[in-house]
Structure 1
């Protein structure tokens, strides 16, 4: 086994802290009742026997997106198979170049997963991970791609542990506003559309402008359901957006941001403009 230090605060009954043990002692340790016992001292991509992981899902496949204050709890699941059946499974997320040098971890709340068998050999096991941006995401550099550890334990003691089974995005929540004026406006006259793109700053627990980002200005004519892109505007050094267009008909104006690896896509609610 390889030793790896973990420093994390985990809500619920389980609290795991960093620890180390000599390799020989780790080898002689009794077999754990659940895979959570390996959270601080884990095998490195270890496979014992014929247990296999067939799928891992974090938050239903959607990115983990956090604002500045509210903690959120996400469901993670492992589908695994073993001829003897599945006893337990485990998932955590870690950030860094390698598991040995990880600078942050998001650990499950439960000591053991809740496993539901779909057959005598296959089960899907669920856990939850609670993320508090003020405790767990204390640096903006944590936004982006995280690795997902996945493990499964067969009822016969066989197991599989993968340090980086897949990757998952952890992102900073974004806000986007829009205002079209003057209102009402005469057809053919120029209107000004302003707005602001901002996102969570985990280091200050406040929202700040997302600078130098391409944002689409879109229009939906009254009575229709589809927005059309009119032009692309780049956010300023403070995240502000401003452009002018010609008023042609009644309808809704909005800004739409496609997102980045660190920030999710977002569209402002349409601002209705009365053209006369």
Structure 2
């Protein structure tokens, strides 16, 4: 039997209920495992790196899809995302029933919409990072197959860089400029953005109004998330800070501040 599930809670008490609700995605003991079922073109969020950035308190829907083939055809597909490689020890779970489009008698393209919600199934920052994906396929003969990896997704906390501010302005050539900006990151624990402390950001500069930014310095943010440094003013141009992101947090670049050098 199949039930539609779009998202399930991952917190301690709710997680047990979620596992019970998601039992449809796990073949029962003795269920047929059809080795002829194939999977390719797996994708998460239509992102090259299978990454989803999520805010502090706002839910985010994202797609998980793949193409499946079986000699008897594809009857239905469900996708399971879990935090933890071992299903028995997973502390986070999302399950979605896919909508399948039949390409021919043996092949279907199946797309599910899952929902990540810091108020429901992402209530801890510890759930950021790598999630494992499994597809549960029912073929045309009713056989059930679990397709377990290596299918991965990355659920990351969104980061934000404030407008870069360079002072004083205007500035005389050769004089010092102070350049600062603040980094914050979504906290799923607190349901608000908090300072991102102790992370490396790049101070970048672009001469004039066109062309690429080049990196001048590497700076670490302080306890309040501020990146602050000084540079010598050489010519009119724009300064900004850039954050490359981590395995747990999204990348972000701040808006540049154009400086008039006289």
Q: Which TM class, normalised by the smaller chain length?
A: 0.7 to 0.9
Structure 1 residue matching 2:46: 3-state secondary structure? helix
Matched, 1:181 2:182: no
Matched, 1:134 2:135: no
Pick one of 101, 107, 113 that aligns with 1:122: 107
In the aligned structure 2, how far is the partner of 1:158 from the partner of 1:53?
A: 15
- Residues 154, 123 of structure 1: alpha-carbon distance in 2 compared, 3 angstrom cutoff: same
For residues 89-128 of structure 1, the aligned pairs below 5 Å read: 89-108=77-96, 112-128=97-113
Q: Which residue of 2 aligns with 1:48?
A: 34
- Residues 275, 267 of structure 1: alpha-carbon distance in 2 compared, 3 angstrom cutoff: same
- Alignment check: 8 A CA contact 2:179 2:229 kept: yes
Structure 2 regions of 5+ residues with no counterpart? 1-6, 11-16
Q: Which residue of 1 aligns with 2:210?
A: 224
Moved over 6 A (4+): none
In the aligned structure 2, how far is the partner of 1:102 from the partner of 1:164?
A: 15
- Residues 179, 222 of structure 1: alpha-carbon distance in 2 compared, 3 angstrom cutoff: same
Structure 2 residue matching 1:48: 3-state secondary structure? coil
Matched, 1:262 2:248: yes
Q: Which residue of 1 aligns with 2:54?
A: 66
In the aligned structure 2, how far is the partner of 1:166 from the partner of 1:19?
A: 23
In the aligned structure 2, how far is the partner of 1:148 from the partner of 1:113?
A: 14
In the aligned structure 1, how far is the partner of 2:152 from the partner of 2:32?
A: 19
Structure 1 residue matching 2:126: 3-state secondary structure? helix
Give the Å deviation of 1:154: 1.7
Structure 2 residue matching 1:255: 3-state secondary structure? strand
Q: Which residue of 1 aligns with 2:3?
A: none
In the aligned structure 1, how far is the partner of 2:35 from the partner of 2:206?
A: 59
In the aligned structure 2, how far is the partner of 1:159 from the partner of 1:222?
A: 62
Q: Cα RMSD over matched residues?
A: 2.3
Pick one of 230, 234, 237 that aligns with 1:251: 237
TM-score under structure 1 normalisation? 0.82
Give the Å deviation of 1:157: 2.2
In the aligned structure 1, how far is the partner of 2:9 from the partner of 2:122?
A: 12
What are the Cα deviations for residues 41-68 of structure 1, in whole angstroms up to 9, with x where unaligned?
A: 4459973252111232111134111111
In the aligned structure 2, how far is the partner of 1:255 from the partner of 1:160?
A: 48
What are the Cα deviations for residues 227-264 of structure 1, in whole angstroms up to 9, with x where unaligned?
A: 00011111112221100001111111100011100001
Structure 2 residue matching 1:60: 3-state secondary structure? coil
What are the Cα deviations for residues 34-91 of structure 1, in whole angstroms up to 9, with x where unaligned?
A: xx7623x445997325211123211113411111121111111121101222221111
Q: Which residue of 2 aligns with 1:171?
A: 156
